[in-house]
């Protein structure tokens, strides 16, 4: 069971993934540009990271920029890239000082050299940190992730390093993004939509899904705690019956 906002929540997820949705609609409500909405959204990352520390969440994965987001208006894409660059330039030192390891997952081949260099620097700087892990999914898609793993396995099979009949779910998982981290226990989507939008399709096989109408720039520590409380009250069965889990 869970507690109130001032207490300790039992059964906290080790790994929380968040689809940070609603920045544009938040901005439109205030007659602001989409860039203002995305900037406000970046501010909330600090809030949720602090909440993870408070409640003992080990891994936080954020869906920052999907493979499909390149199709958005050029002006918005440029603004998102500037924000990503700004975050890597200005937030990594603080993250490092708090003992957080930063990881970036995704294709990377469409990013400019400056962003790629900043990603490399951030990952190298924080690689030894053990307090928590922050994963940023940028130019990421779940279908890309699965296809990328399949391609690597096909190359190994073609080279005679493995036999096709050796390939099972465990082997595929070793070639997926996040293979060295615990699987996501909880996926939170802000902004009111009820879908996972090609995010961590393989990894969400048994994740609990939590949807809220709150736009991401308004998503507070209390909203995050509400999601954790909801998770704590769920029974996770992993294919077993409710009676088996209760034993």
Q: Assign 167 to helix, strand or coil.
A: coil
Write down the pLDDT at residue 5: 53
Has residue 144 got a pLDDT over 90? Answer: yes
Annotated active-site residue 21? The verdict is yes
- Cα separation, 182 vs 199, in Å, equals 16
Annotated active-site residue 230? The verdict is no
Over residues 84-132, the pLDDT tens digits come to 999 999 999 999 999 999 999 999 999 999 999 999 999 999 999 999 9
Torsion of Cα atoms, 190 then 191 then 192 then 196, to 10°: -60
Q: Is the Cβ–Cβ distance between 8 and 232 less than 8 Å?
A: no
Write down the pLDDT at residue 6: 52
Catalytic one of 69, 129, 148, 198: 69
Selection from 231, 225, 222 nearest residue 186 by Cα: 231
- Cα separation, 104 vs 130, in Å, equals 16
- Cα separation, 113 vs 119, in Å, equals 10
Has residue 69 got a pLDDT over 90? Answer: no
Catalytic one of 21, 139, 145, 185: 21
H or E element in which residue 211 lies: strand 208-211
Mean per-residue pLDDT for 148-165? 96
Q: Which two tokens stand for residue 199?
A: 């995010």
- Looking at per-residue pLDDT, the higher value among 238 and 154 belongs to 154
Write down the pLDDT at residue 166: 96
Over residues 195-234, the pLDDT tens digits come to 999 999 999 999 999 999 999 999 999 999 999 999 999 9
**Would you place residue 238 in the very low, low, confident or very high pLDDT band (cuts 50, 70, 90)?**
low
Buried b (16+ CB within 10 A) or exposed e, 55-73: bebbbbbbbbbbbebeebe
| pTM for this prediction | 0.91
Mean per-residue pLDDT for 131-152? 97
**What is the CATH superfamily name and number for domain 15-141+184-231?**
Decaprenyl diphosphate synthase-like (3.40.1180.10)
- Cα separation, 173 vs 104, in Å, equals 18
- Cα separation, 28 vs 189, in Å, equals 19
């Amino acid at each position: 069971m869970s507690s109130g906002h001032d207490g300790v929540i039992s059964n906290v997820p080790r790994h929380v993934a968040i689809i940070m949705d609603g920045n544009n609609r938040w901005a439109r409500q205030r007659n602001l540009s989409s860039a203002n909405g995305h900037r406000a959204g970046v501010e909330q990352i600090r809030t949720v990271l602090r909440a993870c520390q408070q409640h003992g969440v080990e891994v936080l994965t954020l869906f920052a920029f999907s493979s499909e987001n390149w199709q958005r208006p050029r002006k918005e894409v440029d603004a998102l890239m500037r924000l990503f660059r700004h975050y890597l330039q200005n937030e990594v030192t603080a993250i490092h000082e708090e003992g957080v390891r930063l990881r970036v997952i995704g294709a990377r081949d469409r990013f400019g050299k400056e962003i790629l260099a900043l990603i490399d620097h951030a990952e190298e700087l924080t690689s030894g940190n053990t307090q928590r892990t922050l994963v940023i999914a940028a130019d990421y898609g779940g279908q890309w992730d699965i296809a990328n793993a399949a391609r690597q396995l096909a190359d190994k099979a073609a080279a005679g390093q493995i036999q096709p009949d050796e390939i099972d779910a465990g082997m595929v998982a070793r070639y997926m993004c996040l293979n060295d981290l615990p699987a996501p226990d909880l996926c939170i989507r802000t902004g009111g939509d009820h879908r996972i939008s090609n995010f961590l399709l393989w990894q969400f096989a048994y994740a609990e899904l939590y949807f809220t109408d709150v736009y991401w720039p308004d998503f507070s520590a209390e909203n995050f705690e509400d999601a954790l409380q909801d998770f704590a009250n769920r029974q996770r069965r992993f294919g077993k019956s409710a009676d088996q889990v209760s034993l």
